[in-house]
Amino acid sequence: MTDGAAFPPGPGPAPHPGPAPHPEAVPARQDHDDLVREFFDAATAADEEAAVALVHRALEAGLPPERVLLDVIAPAQARVGEEWAAARLSVAREHAASAVSDRAIAALSVHPAARAAPRRGRVTMACVDGEWHALPARLVAETLRLRGWRVDFLGAHVPPQHLVQYLHATGPDAVALSCSIPTRLPAAHAAITACRAGGARAGGGPGFGADGRYARLLGADAWAASATDAADRLERDWPPPVRPADGKAGHLAGREYVRVAEARSRLVAEALEALREELPGTRSCTSRQWESTAEDLAHIVDFLAASLYVDDERLFTDFVAWTAAVLSARGLPTASLAAGLRLLEGLLRGLPRARRTVGAGLAAVGGAADALRGTGPCPAPRKGLLAAVCGRCLTEWCRRALPSARTGPGRSPGRRRSGPIRPRRCPSGRRGRGRGSAFSEPAQDRIDSPMEANAAM
């Protein structure tokens, strides 16, 4: 995956073309696919030497450096992410593969075939505050350098105040901001605003939406879907006409984003407490399992806040759908996600947009609980949402507690059973991790909303 940005062109002599490769030296398409496969194997084996040797071999065979970057290293790294999401690579192995890719990019940048004297303008490339995925931005930076730009690559997690100080000191023609995850959109907005105040034009990346809709909403002058698109744009039609920042950003429409963001820690803590009350079986979770559950709930709250910020519930529902797919790939019940959303929804009284957005997330999960019926007892300890609950127990709880999972013959869709649900023994009869739990409908009336608490202060 690559970030995109747009930058202004500048005058200068034509680049030195370098030696032209012999036609037979340029790898054929089949050989190119083999290069991707071979690079992926080397990266996932943490074999830096093999990965760098492959890059050198491709360059010496005549494959243009930009194509090595974007048609070999980038797709191999994208596959690394896909394999992690499918639970076929651990987090540690994914990190090791990413480090190998980064070293391979560095090796390419100093190879004689990739030498390119600056002949255009100066660009500053940075990841927004809180964005730690620097590899996509590195791919963009190297692509621009190959096209003749002088690129200052600032790396991951650059706070806006430090970015502005750097811009004032160096005076670049443009700045490109990388935002791979939508939860960083508020930070991206702060950076874009600061860049515009300093006279620099801001670009964007894939975290701004598949079509760049959030980049435009938050005031960026341009957006591109890939490194190639960004480089082409800067050579073709930069700079764009100066336009005022869009004053219709969703965060200005109300204060729900602020209230959710300020109450983030309390929301997670109260959701965990509600989880202990509603599913006593979770009380046997280890501290690591509770930490993982807290992280999962925090991600949900962060995406909810980002969705409120840009006033687009699709941002939240897309995240929910992706999370459900990841849970399924790991053999975990997607109904656990629905249960977590329901607990969160009960804490958001007085925030109609937030509740509506969470409701859309529940609809996106769909009939996950019904699909899990009869899955059998939990085969092993889990980490993450509702870690200590076996599949059959969780399915039954969601079937009885969640309206979307209780439709069928003789049932009215969208209506909840009134009154508490009687405790039942865990069908699996397990004890300890994955042991029996009692089921009851979420006691939302017993949960004080942190939003209401804030309003009363």
Which residue type occupies 260? V
Q: What distance in Å separates the CA atoms of residue 295 and residue 287, rounded to the nearest whole number?
A: 12
The pLDDT value recorded for residue 173 is 85
Domain boundaries, the chain: 27-237, 256-456
The DSSP symbol for 408 reads: S
Tell me the residue ranges of DSSP E strands in 77-139: 122-127
Say which residues have a Cβ less than 8 Å from residue 242's Cβ, sequence separation at least 6.
221
- Helix intervals (H) in 313-445: 313-329, 335-345, 352-365, 368-371, 391-401
CA distances from 301 to 265, 296, 347, 416 (A): 9, 9, 11, 25
CA distances from 87 to 45, 47, 263, 331 (A): 16, 21, 32, 9
Domain 27-237 coded CATH 3.30.980.20: no
Handedness of CA 80, 85, 89, 90 (dihedral sign): positive
In this prediction, the residues of the chain whose per-residue pLDDT falls under 70 are 1-30, 198-200, 202, 240-254, 283, 367-457
The pLDDT value recorded for residue 86 is 84
Smallest Cα–Cα separation from 404: which of 368, 353, 373, 352?
Answer: 368
- Give, in words, the CATH class of 256-456: mainly alpha
Burial bucket for residue 419 (CB in 10 Å: 0-12, 13-18, 19+): exposed
